[in-house]
Amino acid sequence: MIKEFISYETAVLARKKGFNERCVGIFYNDDPKVHFMRYIGGSGTEFESLPWRRQEGLSADYILAPLRSSLNQWLTDKYNITVYVIEDVVYGHKSDYGDSHYYIKNRHEILRPENDFMSDADAMDAGLREALNLI
């Protein structure tokens, strides 16, 4: 599941662009590793759960870490911008060099940068950063 979270750099940009949806993951103190929020109940019995949180109530040291799909859905719902990742496959086999590309569908046009990525996750993260820079 850790691989499904956006990168720290993308999270910083998403925060600057107003992303404030509920998440279970956070980044802490510029650490690029995703941490999960835990809640310890204070009514005599302590328990741990993973609550969904927004940025409100978190100190400035914390940045929300959404899943790539959550950030993409937020971009679609709020700005009508969607990132798609396409994997180029030749004769049914993926080659050893960058075969993943991202496309950004923006209201009236489709943007396709000329970059190749080694993984779909890298392509999606780059596409999300590019989409965030459009707003």
Residue with tokens 């979270």: 5
Residue closest to 37 by CA, chosen among 47, 24, 28: 24
The pTM is what?
0.78
Angle at 12 between CA 57 and CA 17, to 5 degrees: 85
Q: What is the pLDDT of residue 46?
A: 39
Q: What is the pLDDT of residues 99-109, one digit of tens each?
A: 677 777 876 67
Residue closest to 83 by CA, chosen among 95, 93, 92, 70: 70
Contact between 35 and 27 (Cβ < 8 Å): yes
Residue with tokens 């700005």: 79
d(CA 26, CA 12): 11
48 or 105, which is more confident?
A: 105
Domain that holds residue 107: 2-134
How many domains, the chain? Answer: 1
Q: What is the pLDDT of residue 108?
A: 66
125 or 88, which is more confident?
A: 125
Q: What is the pLDDT of residue 24?
A: 80
Q: What is the pLDDT of residues 78-116, one digit of tens each?
A: 999 999 988 765 545 455 555 677 777 876 677 777 777
CA 109 to chain centre: 22
